[in-house]
């Protein structure tokens, strides 16, 4: 598994009334990081959508380790995990840039689906780019 780094700046809109990143926003950060990883590896998600290969999240997990605050800069390390048939897993570790503290870890399990949202094998071109 090779990692990919995405930088996320924490804005006021990302936080709760105490200035702490709202828990659900970590899923948004995972989405941004995963999208960036795919793009940087040459996977054009919009193209594949047009060609009938959509990726849907069927499981998401987040383990909260410590707070991230308004004004923090976060580093999301994303790794491609198991790839099998129509499924793949992405792993995430989120750290605060200022002190290296891990604020969250998690994963998303994805399914490649085609017409009528039926599972389909992940196209070989995508597999090659994720290897």
124 in catalytic set: no
Count how many Cα atoms sit within 13 Å of the Cα of residue 66 in the half-sphere of its side chain: 11
DSSP string, 29-78: HHHHHHHHHHHHTT--HHHHHHTT-EEEEEEEEEEE-S--BTT-EEEEEE
Q: Which of 9, 14, 16, 63 is catalytic?
A: 16
**Which residues form the catalytic set?**
16
């Amino acid at each position: 598994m090779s990692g990919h780094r995405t930088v996320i700046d924490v804005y006021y809109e990302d936080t709760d009334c105490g200035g702490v990143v709202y828990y659900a926003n970590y899923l948004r950060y995972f989405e941004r990081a995963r999208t960036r990883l795919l793009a940087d590896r040459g996977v054009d998600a919009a193209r594949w959508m047009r060609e009938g290969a959509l990726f849907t999240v069927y499981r998401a997990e987040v383990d909260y380790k410590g707070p991230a605050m308004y004004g923090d800069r976060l580093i999301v390390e994303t790794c491609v995990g198991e790839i099998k048939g129509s499924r793949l897993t992405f792993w995430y570790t989120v750290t605060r840039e200022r002190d290296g503290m891990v604020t969250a870890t998690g994963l998303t399990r994805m399914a490649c689906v085609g017409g009528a949202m039926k599972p389909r094998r992940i196209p070989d071109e995508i597999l090659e780019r994720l290897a």
